[in-house]
Structure 1
Amino acid sequence: MIPSRLLILLALLLTTPLLLGGVEDVFSDRLPGLGALDLSGRTVADIALLLNVVLVIVAGVDVLISGSPDDIEVDREISEVLSVGTPNPSKILLRNKSRRPLKVLVHDDPGPLIETERMPQEVDLQPWKEAEVTYTVAPLKRGAAKLQAVHLRFPTVLGLWTRHQIRPLETAVRIYPDIRAVYRYELMASRNRLAEIGVRVMRMPGQGREFERLREYRYGDEIRQIDWKATSRQRQLITREFNVERNQNIVLMVDCGRFMRNETDGISYLDRALNSAIMLSYIALGQGDNVSLMAFSNRIERFIRPVRGKPGIQTILRSTYDIQASTKTADYSLALEYLSKVQRKRALVILITFVTDELQLRVIGESLQLRSLPYLPMCVLLQDVGLKEMADRIPDSDVEAFHTSAAAQILTGQAQEVATMRENGVLMVDTPPDLLTERLINEYLTIKMRNLM
């Protein structure tokens, strides 16, 4: 219970005459003129003392006649699964079990890993009525978390006190990567607006190997797809259409080493890699492919065996939401050695990583080339945004010139290693972190269209 500003102000006003009366008693003997000026000082002090007693009584009565925080039932409604970095809807339900209306200030305490928006809020609770407070929570980090408590605060009837209570209300939640991107993709696809999110629209039918049907010629069809016998019978151009290859294997290898702790715009490289991997998994599962995922650092952190169909995305989400970046350097040879034991069939192997120099790239290239299994390897490199900005900067001093030169030299070495890996048959995607998802999806769709798997 906290005294209100009104109570503090009244207490100060009524206590001041008592303090002044005490000062007069001390100095009246030394300053005779002060006693001559005071005609009714004791009377004022006595009245002030009486009013202080009355104020104490009234303040006590105010507590007795006012409602208690225990008269308020509190519950929280929120999904067990939240998306990191995005607003997630939540709701606080309140019920007044007293006979008095209450004006309650509500604040949810979600803990250190989650931020709230539209909090705190004030709500009028009528007697024996219910009310709800809607707001959003934005998790800052993936993993398991608990929303801790709800803070309740309301004034007493006379406004002399503020009742305050921290109501324990633990709610366990799982914070997943940004799965809302999946729903945005689905929405854009249904409206033929994928280009707005950077995904190239590719016409997949007609590029597979298994014959599906004959249809009328459309502008853009290749000449080799025309069925000339059917064309002569129908007296119009007829095109052969083939099924897109399905049931192919996709393996996503996500680097969880210490370099993936780097951030751009407050989002770690690992979070960006996982978000993109989940998005690609959803699309590949929709194409009828099998998807497996490996997370590794200096050890195998997680391996998800192949899943099929769009419901398989839930398996991937449940298995990856709590993966965190290690403090150790990633061991690419170990990861590929493990993969060679668990994945012996033909597969598109996509490695998403971030490296700081050409030596690490050389290790990756050698690891991918040493594999004799039927893999189509793809290496997705996240660019070092800060290093690129440093290399592009016009130096203003000798020190800055040295930094710019060193950054340019590192980038040149990386570019040479990337070219070498391409020559050795490794598909390469070198992308800024914020464009990772769209670049990865477009590369996958291109591979499917060209039947490279």
Structure 2
Amino acid sequence: MKPARRLLQLVALWAGLAIPLIWLDSTGLVALWWALGGLITVIALLDGWQLTRQPAPQAQRILPSALSVQQPHPVRIRVRSNSLPAGTLLADRHPGDDPDTGLPCLLNPAEDELTELTYPYRPSRRGPTEFGDLEFWLPSRLSLWSARKSVAAACSVPVYPDFSRLHATSLDASHTYLFSGTRLQPRRGEGMEFHQLREYHAGDSLRQIDWKATARRRTLISREYQDEQNQQILLMLDGGRRLAMPVGELTGFDHALNAALLLAWSALKQKDKAGAMLFSGDQPRWLPPVQGQHGINHLLNGLYDLHPSEHASDFNLAARQLLKQSRRRALVVLITRLQQEDRDDLMSAVTLLRKHHLVLVADMLLPEQENLARADVHDFDGALQVCAAAQEQQERQQLHTRLRHAGALVTATTPQNMPAQLNHLYLMLKRSGRL
């Protein structure tokens, strides 16, 4: 409990009255001054005692069951109006990573049964986030004191990667290839799954005609095929320090994780299986492949709390660990940021994985380096930066070439473009029959 502004003003006024009493030197006025001080003290004590007996408001906090990083979410606080004094100050103990919630704020009871306040909360980091109790500063009846009353509301809420793009049409697994500008090559017939028989359509090849069904029905019947299902996509996430660098409002690891989850979502919609592995992190993690569109919840729950470590990336060890977990043929997507010193370690890892899997290496390019390639040179320092970026890019291209010669597929793109790029390549590989 602390004194309110009104009480401090009364005390200051009472103390100020003592100044003229010094000059008047009147015993009666001094006694009256002391009596006034005693009256203020008694009234203040009674007002404070009444406040201490006042219960905390009946309130609750309503949160979403899960939050997305860097996305604003509404947090609602409901208070019973008959338990809320006018001029109450609310200070919710929310996580301190968002300074723009607008709290603390004053609450006045509404005419309805419930008084409701909604404020936005925008988490800045994935993983479990903790909300504390609700904190109210209640004014006394005469507004001489304010007392802090807490309402138990502590809880933990998971903060997932930004999965709002999971339903974006630009990444829809069934439509992306139509707008990619690339012509998909049809399968040769091997590796295609039979779907159903149907009437012959103009343009069907002779190999599609089912002659036995045609003879029975005395009309041309064609076989209809569909893409193979139940294939595996294994996502290898680099949890080392190289992806800890900030890229915009997120880290490189956050961008890599978003790309991995969007690719997994695309694979699950295609009725394939998707699994994930984190390597070189503080807590290496293996999530076995799952199937069905509900499998994305399994992957989200298994990956949302991961963060990059301070360890160096060990690709060879990661490849051996993956082969212990799964030897069934799969598309292994390694998401990292390549460096020249990775050459020998990465080549060894690709050689191991290629014995059982199709390997796709996704190299994350920093937007700043991409901008340097198109930057105008105005001074000597700028020229040095452009030359250094060009040399680094040349070494990166040489490493990409060696990886392709070793049998790996390689793609290099910026973090913002990586989700769409990986999804496009996955669909191309699936429809070309290489999986």
Q: TM-score interval w.r.t. the shorter chain?
A: 0.7 to 0.9
Q: Are positions 1:150 and 2:134 aligned together?
A: yes
Cα 1:63–1:371 shift into 2, 3 Å: closer
Deviation at 1:312, TM superposition (A): 1.8
Amino acid at match of 2:58: E
Amino acid at match of 2:140: T
Q: Are positions 1:353 and 2:353 aligned together?
A: no
Cα 1:186–1:158 shift into 2, 3 Å: farther
3-state SS in 1 of match to 2:136: strand
Per-residue CA shift, 1:147-200, capped at 9, x if unaligned?
122221232222222232344532022222223332x3379859x9x77xx985
Amino acid at match of 2:59: V
Structure 2 contact 92–133 (Cα < 8 Å) conserved: yes
In the alignment, what sits opposite 1:108? Answer: 92
Q: Which runs of 5+ in 2 are unaligned?
A: 215-219
Which structure 2 residues correspond to residues 245-284 of structure 1 after superposition, within 5 A?
245-284=228-267
Moved more, 123-132 or 173-182: 123-132
In the alignment, what sits opposite 1:83? Answer: 68
3-state SS in 2 of match to 1:250: strand
Q: Are positions 1:411 and 2:396 aligned together?
A: no
Structure 1 contact 249–348 (Cα < 8 Å) conserved: yes
Whole-angstrom CA distance in 2 between matches of 1:43 and 1:269: 79
Whole-angstrom CA distance in 1 between matches of 2:273 and 2:282: 24
Whole-angstrom CA distance in 1 between matches of 2:223 and 2:236: 37
Which structure 2 residues correspond to residues 22-421 of structure 1 after superposition, within 5 A?
22=22, 24=23, 47-66=32-51, 70-95=55-80, 101-112=85-96, 117-125=101-109, 129-182=113-166, 184-185=167-168, 200=180, 209-212=192-195, 213-214=197-198, 241-297=224-280, 301-355=284-338, 357-361=339-343, 363-421=345-403
3-state SS in 2 of match to 1:350: strand
**Greater relative CO (CA pairs within 8 A, separation 6+):** 2
TM-score by length of 1: 0.80
Whole-angstrom CA distance in 1 between matches of 2:223 and 2:131: 58
Deviation at 1:77, TM superposition (A): 2.7
In the alignment, what sits opposite 2:14? Answer: 14
Structure 1 contact 205–241 (Cα < 8 Å) conserved: no
Whole-angstrom CA distance in 2 between matches of 1:74 and 1:277: 40
Cα 1:328–1:130 shift into 2, 3 Å: same
Deviation at 1:348, TM superposition (A): 0.4
Identity rate, percent: 26
Whole-angstrom CA distance in 1 between matches of 2:208 and 2:33: 105
Deviation at 1:69, TM superposition (A): 5.8
Q: Which runs of 5+ in 1 are unaligned?
A: 25-37, 232-236
Structure 2 contact 364–414 (Cα < 8 Å) conserved: yes
Cα 1:300–1:173 shift into 2, 3 Å: closer
Deviation at 1:318, TM superposition (A): 2.0
Amino acid at match of 1:360: D
Matched pairs, number: 429
Whole-angstrom CA distance in 2 between matches of 1:18 and 1:331: 79
Cα 1:222–1:19 shift into 2, 3 Å: farther
Whole-angstrom CA distance in 1 between matches of 2:156 and 2:281: 31
- Higher share in strand: 1
3-state SS in 2 of match to 1:247: coil
Amino acid at match of 1:364: L
Deviation at 1:128, TM superposition (A): 11
Structure 1 contact 14–52 (Cα < 8 Å) conserved: yes
Deviation at 1:252, TM superposition (A): 0.4
Structure 2 contact 185–432 (Cα < 8 Å) conserved: no
Moved more, 369-378 or 116-125: 116-125
Deviation at 1:63, TM superposition (A): 2.9
Whole-angstrom CA distance in 2 between matches of 1:443 and 1:135: 41
Structure 1 contact 74–92 (Cα < 8 Å) conserved: yes
Deviation at 1:298, TM superposition (A): 6.6
Whole-angstrom CA distance in 2 between matches of 1:188 and 1:261: 26
Moved more, 276-285 or 50-59: 50-59
- RMSD in angstroms over aligned alpha carbons? 4.0
Deviation at 1:210, TM superposition (A): 2.6
